Amino acid sequence: MRLDLTLLTLGILFLVGLAADEIGRRTRLPRVTLLLLAGVVAGRSGLDLVPAEAEAWYEFLSVSALTMVAFLLGSALTRQNLAAHGTEIVVISISIVLVTLLVVAGGLALIGVPLGLALLLGAIATATAPAATEDAIRQSGMTGAFPDKLRGIVAVDDAWGLLAFSLMAVAAGELYGNGHEGVLQDALREIGGALLLGAFIGVPGAMLTGRIKPGEPLQTEALGLVFLTAGLAIWLEVSYLLAGMTAGMLIVNFARHHRQAFHEIENARWPFMVLFFLLAGVSLELGHLATMGGLGLAYLALRIAARIIGGWIGARLGGESAVERPWFGIALLPQAGVAIGMALVAAESFPDWGDTIITLTIGTTVVFELLGPPATLFALRRVAGKESGQPPAKGP
């Protein structure tokens, strides 16, 4: 790609991101959805204005942005937060994953989907979108117990989802005579390896960072940890999300000399997030929505219902207040890259169902990427309004 075209593309994308951020502030619309829509308009499904070479940046940007988000989510798992909300985080996250799996798989099986395929789609439905959820929390400006618990749930949610997907792949293989025990072994290796890598980065990171400028890690230190974690995770073929989350959790809990352990990551993340969401929108194929049919609509309805029910049950079991119970599942509707990753593995392992799995997952991901962030913001504002005793804020 020519240098002038590269610079022009970057300049325009950043200005579009600035406009989306400002519109979000003035209208209370989620900036994630605005960025995705801007990308859709400019991309393949719209005016096709973005050079094809620019789309090649997406993989680097997605890994970088999501690893930064993983560090920030891990930093939410402080001793204080875990002591205050640890039980609720675990109970609600497990409840949402289990209910999503059971409701989606059971509902699809009842309408005639082969049981093995239903199990795989139910497992894929458990995945969330940490970047979209985290950004909606930040845009809301809400602090306190509810957003802290949401961050904790998102941080551990994909680990449960990956394990559920692996177990369902094994079950589907057994039902149809194809041995897929290797999927479970790979998942356990990926989770265990990511936790070990996070510890390998996080423990020395806690001791060594924030020494040059006492108490505040430099931006070069922060970015160095992010890229080192992401690069090693990809090389070792483990989850960079779980590795970053683990490293962030260890640093925030063991770096006693830090005053603002993740201040520089917070400062650096937004330019990466702007490009990530814009290029995600560019790559979205709205044509997939037309091919979903009744199966896609059933999947959408079942997943939405399952998240709401699972969140309510988990909140009830975890002893949450009546104000918060209805809103956990709604706040956790966004779904993105992790689901597509699961779909690719499932399609490779079960080629007879491959086209159905890929088409349905990509099509429904478009819907949840666009509608999920407004749902998260809506839930946050409803809880904030009820807890303050004020009428809930207008807007999504």
Distances in Å between the Cα of 143 and the Cα atoms of 150, 151, 179, 383 are 11, 11, 47, 11
Q: What is the pLDDT of residue 396?
A: 40
Closest by alpha carbon to 45, among 338, 289, 341?
289
% of residues, the chain, pLDDT over 70: 85
**What pLDDT shows up at residue 393?**
44
- Written as six digits, the tokens of 49 are 């204005």
Is there a domain that residue 313 lies in?
Answer: yes
pLDDT of residue 313: 93
Give the tens place of pLDDT for each residue, 331-389. 888 887 677 778 877 877 788 887 788 778 877 877 887 888 888 888 888 887 665 55
For 314, the domain range is 57-388
CB 337 within 8 A of CB 129: yes
Specify if 275 maps to a domain. yes
| Domain harbouring 229, CATH code | 1.20.1530.20
Residue 205 has pLDDT above 50, yes or no: yes
Q: How big is the chain, counted in residues?
A: 396
Task: Please report whether residue 237 resides in a domain.
Answer: yes
- Domain annotation covers residue 395: no
CA angle at 344 for the pair 133 and 336, rounded to the nearest 5°: 10
What gap in Å lies between CA 233 and CA 191, rounded to an integer? 11
Residue 44 lies in a domain: no
Residue 144 located in a structural domain = yes
**pLDDT (average), residues 90-100:** 91
Question: How is residue 128 written in tokens?
Answer: 């969330």
Asked whether residue 16 is assigned to any structural domain, the reply reads no
Instruction: Check residue 196 and give its pLDDT.
Output: 93
Direct distance between the N- and C-terminal alpha carbons of the chain, in angstroms, rounded to an integer? 39
Distance from C-alpha of 218 to C-alpha of 205, rounded to nearest angstrom: 12
The dihedral over CA atoms of 354, 365, 109, 291, expressed in degrees to the nearest 10, equals -60
Find out whether 328 and 153 touch, Cβ atoms under 8 Å: yes
**For the chain, what is the radius of gyration of the CA atoms?**
20
Return the pLDDT at 288.
60
Please state the domain count of the chain: 1
Note the pLDDT tens digit of each residue in 7-66.
888 888 888 888 877 887 777 667 777 777 788 787 776 777 777 777 777 778 878 887
What predicted TM-score, i.e. pTM, was given to this entire model? 0.74
Task: Report if residue 175 sits inside a domain.
Answer: yes
pLDDT tens-digit series, residues 66-94: 788 788 777 777 777 777 777 888 899 89
pLDDT digits (tens, 9 = 90+) for 257-311: 665 556 667 677 778 878 877 877 777 666 666 666 788 889 999 999 999 999 9
What's the chain's average pLDDT?
79
What does the pLDDT read at residue 99?
93
SS in 3 state form for the chain?
CCHHHHHHHHHHHHHHHHHHHHHHHHHCCCHHHHHHHHHHHHCCCCCCCCCHHHHCCHHHHHHHHHHHHHHHHHHCCCHHHHHHHHHHHHHHHHHHHHHHHHHHHHHHHHCCCCHHHHHHHHHHCCCCCHHHHHHHHHHHCCCCHHHHHHHHHHHHHHHHHHHHHHHHHHHHHHHCCCCCHHHHHHHHHHHHHHHHHHHHHHHHHHHHCCCCCCCCCCHHHHHHHHHHHHHHHHHHCCCHHHHHHHHHHHHHHHCCCCCCCCHHHHHHHHHHHHHHHHHHHHHCCCHHHHCCHHHHHHHHHHHHHHHHHHHHHHHHHCCCCCCCHHHHHHHCCCCCHHHHHHHHHHHHHCHHHHHHHHHHHHHHHHHHHHHHHHHHHHHHHHHHHHHHCCCCCCCC
